[in-house]
């Protein structure tokens, strides 16, 4: 069985952000060339193991893919293209970009390799705030990077923003939103801060050096975001994602629709044949495993049907289209009313869920309390 999507993890960064808990390493003095080489081997082992699959979306994330030099990144892109049945048939090929890390040559190389979408990690247009969260670029560099990408021919560009950051004010947040709208990109992702373990923010939070913003302020920031973006013609097709018509992230829909995907690279996650798996994270162990012809997977979890149904609900409810009754029925040979009757009834009564008869959706109130809603769909056996 093959999956329609590929995720490739590049675990290197020019600078480590204080909030990031992804598998990443400061690139200086790391075995980058060796990593790129063994990554190509894992791609062959996992993706093109039997026959080349027909792939619809590819996503190169990190870390920071553009921390690689042009030749290293080209090798990764070439290896991925070589593993798929028809590279020209890939509908969406995304690479994450850090402002200031890609010159015209690197952008042109990506275009030539078939990349047709960029996800640019701007986070904020306030220089002081960028420094406080550990970003290595300035607001001006973000503007210049987006302009350069457009000049090379990239039209499908997504900008990542963050809110709920320590010391972030409503004024600076509104400025960031306004500046983003001026750039006229077709897709915007905006995420609230989550203080995760194994981050500098977590250590500082435990030491009392930083405090997250109050939940009410964070909720107000989200409401300001939704109002500004919808007024500007963006569709909130997922809780944290907004697009102009037809410019949704097709790759991320793979996750929200609970579909399967290949995951390759150190610390990457994948979902194949009903099994979720996670790769070895530490570079030396990952490299050694692949060089020895062994699997890079460190752990796997065979997902039972009950868990699949849970995921179908709380992932699908993130999207504007919600969870479709017919899709659920076809996938699990049962109705979500049969599996979650009390939950659906209670959440509808509380006006957190809207039932159209054909699909279930979060209400505006439900979006603000999304995590609480999703928890209700966790079955207990």
Task: Name the domain boundary from 224, 240, 256.
Answer: 256
Domain for residue 277, yes or no? no
How many structural domains does the chain have? 2
Which tokens hold the place of 297? 């997977």
Let me know if residue 279 belongs to a domain: no
Report if residue 333 sits inside a domain: yes
Output the pLDDT for position 21. Answer: 86
Q: How many residues does the chain have?
A: 381
Does residue 352 or residue 22 have the better pLDDT? 352
Q: Report the candidate in 255, 258, 256 with the shortest Cα–Cα distance to residue 362.
A: 256
311 and 220 share one domain: no
Cβ pair 59, 6 in contact under 8 A:
yes
Same domain assignment for residues 248 and 313:
no
Using DSSP, state whether 77 is helix, strand or coil: helix
Q: Is residue 67 part of a domain?
A: yes
Note whether 243 and 343 are same-domain residues. no
Regarding whether 316 and 240 lie in a shared domain, the answer is no
Clarify whether residues 229 and 326 are in a common domain: no
pLDDT band at 381 (very low <50, low <70, confident <90, very high): very low
pLDDT at res. 54: 92
Residue 50 pLDDT: 63
* Residue 3 pLDDT level (bands cut at 50, 70, 90): confident
Residues 330, 130: Cα–Cα separation, whole Å: 46
234 within domain boundaries: yes
Tokens 């457009």 belong to 150
Is residue 235 domain-shared with residue 342, that is, in the same domain?
no
Residue 96 lies in a domain: yes
pLDDT band of residue 1 (cuts 50, 70, 90) is: low
Residue 158 has pLDDT above 80, yes or no: yes
32-46 and 283-291 helices, crossing angle to 10°: 50
E strand segments, the chain: 5-10, 12-13, 25-26, 57-62, 92-97, 117-123, 156-163, 187-192, 235-238, 241-243, 262-264, 269-272, 275-279, 297-302, 323-324, 353-355, 359-362
Q: Reduce the DSSP state of residue 372 to 3 states and report it.
A: helix
- My answer on whether 232 and 345 are in the same domain is no
Of 237, 256, 275, the one marking the end of a domain is: 256
> Of 230, 256, 282, at which residue does a domain stop?
256
Q: Is 353 helix (H, G, I), strand (E, B) or coil?
A: strand
Say which CATH number the domain at 371 has.
1.10.10.920
pLDDT confidence of residue 51 = 81
pLDDT mean over 212-235: 95
pLDDT at 216: 93
* Whole-prediction pTM: 0.95
Q: Collapsing DSSP states into helix, strand and coil, what is residue 116?
A: coil
Q: What is the mean pLDDT of the chain?
A: 95
b vs e for 126-149, b when ≥16 Cβ sit within 10 Å of the residue's Cβ? beebbebbbbbbebebbbebbebb
Q: Is residue 298 part of a domain?
A: no
Let me know: does 176 contact 139? Beta carbons within 8 Å. no
| 40 and 145 in a common domain | yes
Residue range 35-90, pLDDT digits in tens:
999 999 999 999 877 688 899 999 999 999 999 999 999 999 999 999 999 999 99
**Is 30 part of any domain?**
yes
Pair (130, 61) in one structural domain? yes
Q: Specify the CATH number for the domain of residue 33.
A: 3.80.30.20
Predicted confidence (pLDDT) at residue 123 exceeds the cutoff of 90: yes
* Structural domain that includes position 364: 306-375
Beta strands 57-62 and 92-97 are parallel
Do 210 and 343 lie in one domain? The reply is no
Residues 89 and 153 reside in one and the same domain: yes
Q: What's the pLDDT band for 380 if we cut at 50, 70, 90?
A: low
pLDDT (tens digit per residue) in 170-217: 999 999 999 999 999 999 999 999 999 989 999 998 999 998 899 999
Q: Do residues 311 and 246 both lie within one domain?
A: no
Over 80: is that where the pLDDT of 277 sits? yes
Can you give the pLDDT at residue 326? 97
Show the CA angle centred on residue 234, arms to residues 260 and 156, nearest 5°.
Answer: 60
Residue 328 has pLDDT above 60, yes or no: yes
pLDDT reported for residue 52:
87
């Amino acid at each position: 069985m093959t999956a329609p999507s590929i995720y490739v993890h590049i675990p290197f960064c020019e600078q480590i952000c204080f909030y990031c808990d992804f598998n990443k390493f400061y690139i200086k003095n790391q075995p980058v060339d060796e990593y790129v080489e063994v990554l190509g081997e894992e791609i062959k082992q996992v993706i093109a193991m039997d026959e080349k699959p027909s792939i619809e979306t590819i996503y190169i994330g990190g870390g920071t893919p553009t921390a690689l030099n042009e030749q290293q990144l080209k090798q990764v892109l070439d290896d991925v293209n070589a593993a798929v049945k028809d590279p020209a048939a890939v509908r969406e090929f995304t690479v994450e970009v850090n402002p200031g890390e890609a010159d015209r040559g690197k952008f042109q190389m990506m275009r030539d390799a078939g990349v047709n979408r960029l996800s640019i990690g701007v986070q904020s247009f306030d220089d002081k705030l960028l420094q406080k969260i550990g970003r290595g670029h300035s607001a001006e560099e973000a503007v210049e990077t987006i302009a350069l990408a457009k000049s090379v021919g990239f039209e499908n560009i997504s900008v990542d923003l963050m809110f709920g950051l320590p010391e972030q004010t409503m004024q600076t947040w509104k400025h960031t939103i306004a500046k983003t709208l001026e750039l006229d990109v077709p897709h915007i992702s905006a995420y609230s801060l989550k203080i995760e373990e194994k981050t500098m923010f977590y250590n500082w939070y435990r030491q009392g050096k930083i405090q997250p913003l109050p939940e009410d302020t964070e909720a107000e920031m989200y409401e300001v975001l939704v109002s500004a973006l919808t007024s500007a013609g963006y569709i909130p097709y997922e809780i944290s994602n907004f697009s102009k018509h037809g410019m949704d992230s097709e790759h991320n829909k793979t996750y929200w629709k609970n579909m399967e995907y290949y995951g390759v690279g150190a610390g990457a996650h994948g979902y194949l044949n009903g099994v979720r798996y996670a790769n070895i994270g530490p570079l030396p162990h990952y490299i050694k495993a692949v060089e020895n012809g062994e699997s890079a997977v460190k752990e796997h979890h065979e997902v039972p049907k009950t868990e699949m149904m849970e995921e179908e609900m709380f992932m699908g409810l993130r999207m504007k289209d919600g969870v479709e009754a017919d899709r659920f029925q076809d996938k699990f040979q049962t109705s979500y009313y049969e599996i979650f009757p009390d939950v659906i009834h209670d959440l509808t009564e509380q006006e957190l869920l809207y039932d159209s008869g054909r699909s279930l959706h979060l209400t505006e109130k439900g979006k603000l309390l999304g995590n609480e809603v999703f928890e209700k769909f966790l079955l207990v056996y």
